[in-house]
Amino acid sequence: MLRLPPFTPHFPLTIEAAVALKARHGADAAYVAGGTDLYPNMKRRQQTPSVVIDLRRAGVGGQRGRGAEGQLLLGAGMTLTQLIRDPLVRAEWPALAAAAATISTPILQNMGTLGGNLLLDTRCNYYDQGYEWRKAINFCLKKDGDICWVAPSSPRCWAVQSSDLAPVMVALGASVTLVGPAGTRTIPASALYRNDGIEYLSKHPDELLTAVSVPALAGARAVYRKVRRRGAFDFPVLGVAAVVRTDPAGIVTSARVVVGGVGSLPVESDVATAALVGQKLGDEAIEAAALAAARPSKPLDNTDFTIGWRKDLVPITVRRALEDLRPPLRQ
């Protein structure tokens, strides 16, 4: 049985107190909300903070509201179950609720949070193993070693971003609010991620993600498609989020296609967007966009399934996602 290493828990009552604790203890401390990512990692000794800052009493709540411009305002502490079941989210941002519903199991959805999934640690076949297994291969570049076993000649870590909500938030043009020792700032969700398996977030380690703002769809349609070995529980080996807006004539006026599970950050394809804008969402435009989205996607030996199969599946999944966004046929 894997056991948690010793640590000292703290239960701050305000966001400011939580941030002050993290700044005081630095790299020895970690924030935790639901704990569905951190605690398994601690059991495998992938992360070994001596101080754990529990946010459940700090005011990082699960509140939901609507902004002055119709945007969806979400507290980072909202559980995945709350996100899945929320009537406003289901009615006006259904792709968001649908993506959350694909994460893990109902039991873990009751614990896991919106903020936690957005900040999910990157994953890899050589990293997400027990301590003794990793020790047997002399560890890896992401933790305790000096070689990335996915690409041994590479100077960087290729662990993959496996959040289901990250590509959806990027595609929807969401923004996140970060609170740290230097104050509060808001950045686009797309700016939160970096193309590095170790330094995969742009936020300062002491900063706390407290809220998410999602623009109103305003007539656009959005979808999320996920590929995994089993129909439940598994992390994505591929996730595709797409958002399309059309004019009354059915011409695409704006679009975003974001692919997750194929790199250390969600991969957005500007070329796919260019293939769609100005066209009707017909077979030719969809096929061109699907092929374009597949080009920057470079799956490696870091998750389930073979590299070639995952690569081949990118245009297929993008095509299916875009087909889902076609305007409904008029009776």
Identify whether residues 87 and 197 lie together within a single domain. Answer: yes
The CATH number assigned to the domain holding 199 equals 3.30.465.10
Identify whether residues 173 and 295 lie together within a single domain. Answer: no
Identify whether residues 170 and 309 lie together within a single domain. Answer: no
Residues 6 or more apart in contact with residue 272 via CB below 8 angstroms: 255, 257, 289, 290, 292, 293, 318
pLDDT digits (tens, 9 = 90+) for 185-219: 999 999 999 999 999 999 999 999 999 999 999 99
Identify whether residues 93 and 174 lie together within a single domain. Answer: yes
Over range 126-135, report the average pLDDT: 96
Number of structural domains in the chain: 2
Identify whether residues 203 and 302 lie together within a single domain. Answer: no
Q: 301 burial class (0-12, 13-18, 19+ CB within 10 angstroms)?
A: middle
Over range 76-99, report the average pLDDT: 97
Over range 219-238, report the average pLDDT: 93
Number of H helices, E strands in the chain: 12, 12
pLDDT digits (tens, 9 = 90+) for 39-68: 999 999 999 999 999 999 998 988 999 999
The CATH number assigned to the domain holding 290 equals 3.30.390.50
Identify whether residues 195 and 228 lie together within a single domain. Answer: no
Does residue 331 surpass a pLDDT of 50? no
To the question of pTM greater than 0.85 for the whole model, the response is yes
Mean pLDDT of the chain: 95
**Which residues form the domain of 207?**
64-119+160-214
Percent of the chain with pLDDT over 90: 92
Identify whether residues 292 and 182 lie together within a single domain. Answer: no
Q: What pLDDT score was predicted for residue 1?
A: 76
Asked whether residue 155 is domain-assigned, the answer is no
Does residue 330 surpass a pLDDT of 90? no
Residues 6 or more apart in contact with residue 178 via CB below 8 angstroms: 184, 185, 186, 187, 203, 204, 207, 208, 209, 210
Identify whether residues 248 and 312 lie together within a single domain. Answer: yes
Over range 320-330, report the average pLDDT: 84
Q: What pLDDT score was predicted for residue 149?
A: 97
Does residue 233 surpass a pLDDT of 90? no
Beta bridge partners of 238: 227
Does residue 240 surpass a pLDDT of 90? yes
Over range 34-39, report the average pLDDT: 96
Does residue 329 surpass a pLDDT of 60? no
Q: Where are the alpha helices (DSSP H) in the chain?
A: 15-25, 38-43, 80-85, 87-92, 94-101, 106-109, 114-118, 131-136, 165-172, 270-276, 283-294, 307-324
Identify whether residues 168 and 292 lie together within a single domain. Answer: no
Over range 252-278, report the average pLDDT: 95
Asked whether residue 173 is domain-assigned, the answer is yes
